[in-house]
Chains A and B, each alone.
Chain A
Amino acid sequence: MTEGATSHPLKKAKHQRLALVVVAVVALVAAALIATWALRNQASFFYVPSEIVSDPPPAGQAVRLGGMVETGSLVTKPDGVTIDFVVGDGDARVPVEYKGIVPDLFQEGSGVVAEGRMLANGTFRADTLLAKHDENYIPRELQDMTAAQKQAAIEETTK
């Protein structure tokens, strides 16, 4: 509207402000990137098995262990409330024991976050189990399909 009438010094000031904002935003982004890079370990909610295995926390120190419950590893002890299972991340595996009620979504082949501590014998004793679900949303009906049907349906979804 007043653009045409804008005199030269005003335009110059506008460009200076624009440059200032751009510099400020770049500096902010850089600062945030540096901060998140520095925080990359501290800001994680849990350790994965390969981190626990390569750099074991001192026995008895409270840590969170997260990964996949390995298929076929889940064993319920005779008392009915104590369970043993293995958490893996593809590279390393950590045996876990837990006594208590498990969340509804806890199952083999699914994600889990266990809060607890490493024992001297290399087993992780969990005090709390949290279930972690993945990004896939699939209707319950698909469960009854054959593997090939399921694959076709999933492919159609993720296409």
Chain B
Amino acid sequence: MHGFANPKRFLTIARPLTPALLVLGSLLLFGSLAYGLFAAPAERLQGETVRILFVHVPAAWLGMAGWSVIAMASIAEIVWRHPLAAIAGRAAAVPGAMFTAICLATGSLWGRPAWGTWWEWDGRLTSMLVLLFLYFGYIALAGATAREGVSSRISAIFGIVGVINVPVIHYSVLWWYSIHQPPSLSMGKSAMAPEFLWPLLAATLGFSLIFSAVVLMRMRALLADAQAEARLRRKALDSDRRPTQGEW
């Protein structure tokens, strides 16, 4: 872990990894989504609307995985003071929020034909909306602490506290009676026909690779930002120390 503490070493790995993840993820994603849209069969009860599955489920997974990344980065920051941890947490927040929003939007579009409603204040739906608001809070907090030069440990604590919502989302359909059906996929078991299962797994992997690529890109951008700022600060200090030409 601490081998990557040096931003230079991180960059030598992140630079070639980003395009590789992006290309592989896009290929997987376009293949599986094309199959899902055009070749997958209609579902017994839901008919053609089942195709939204191939976007909705990966988006939900990445919305929750994004916050898990934030929580792990937050712990790494607080316990080990890993210098890249705060940057990793901030980098995962925006794509995580994006996928949570996609999950909510596609779920709403799917709920209208399947259940007969755009939105219900159900345990699963509400906890997912809470996740989106947690993301907004984290993005605002992490941005503010970085801007004001305050310790990023404040947002790290928020990231750890917020992770409690992730298992609540997962178990909401098991603990409480919910309009949302229980998970179709659990450890080694699937209630999905292979025609739906395999493209779904491929789409999930594709979205995840693209998510990782975006996180790496954002980490590099945040690192570059920090370096540019440090350089500016150094320059300002130097010009303070040296008498400027105007005074001579």
Contacts of A1 in B (CB 8 A): 2-3, 5-6
Q: Cβ of B17 < 8 Å from any Cβ of A? A: no
B2, B176, B197: the one within 8 Å of A43 (CB): B176
B79 touches A45 (CB 8 A): no
Binds B, one of A54-62, A74-82, A124-132: A124-132
Rounded to whole Å, the gap between the CB of A131 and the closest CB of chain B is 5
Rounded to whole Å, the gap between the CB of A41 and the closest CB of chain B is 9
B44 touches A135 (CB 8 A): no
B47 touches A158 (CB 8 A): no
B6, B44, B79, B191: the one within 8 Å of A14 (CB): B79
Q: Can you name the residue of chain A whose Cβ is closest to the Cβ of B111?
A: A130
Contacts of A104 in B (CB 8 A): 47, 113-114, 116
Residue-by-residue, is B141-182 near A (CB-CB < 8 Å gives 1, otherwise 0)? 000000000000000000011001001100110011111011
A131 touches B116 (CB 8 A): yes
A46 touches B177 (CB 8 A): yes
A3, A45, A139, A141: the one within 8 Å of B123 (CB): A45
Contacts of B5 in A (CB 8 A): 1
Please measure, in the bound complex, the distance between the C-alpha atom of A21 and the C-alpha atom of B189, giving whole angstroms: 34
Q: Cβ of B205 < 8 Å from any Cβ of A? A: no
Q: Can you name the residue of chain B whose Cβ is closest to the Cβ of A41?
A: B176
Give chain B's interface residues, CB within 8 Å of chain A. 2-3, 5-6, 41-47, 50, 53, 75, 78-80, 113-117, 120, 122-123, 160-161, 164, 167-168, 171-172, 175-179, 181-184, 189-197
* Sampled A-B contacts (12; CB under 8 Å): A14-B79, A36-B171, A66-B177, A66-B179, A103-B114, A106-B116, A107-B45, A134-B181, A135-B183, A137-B53, A139-B41, A142-B193
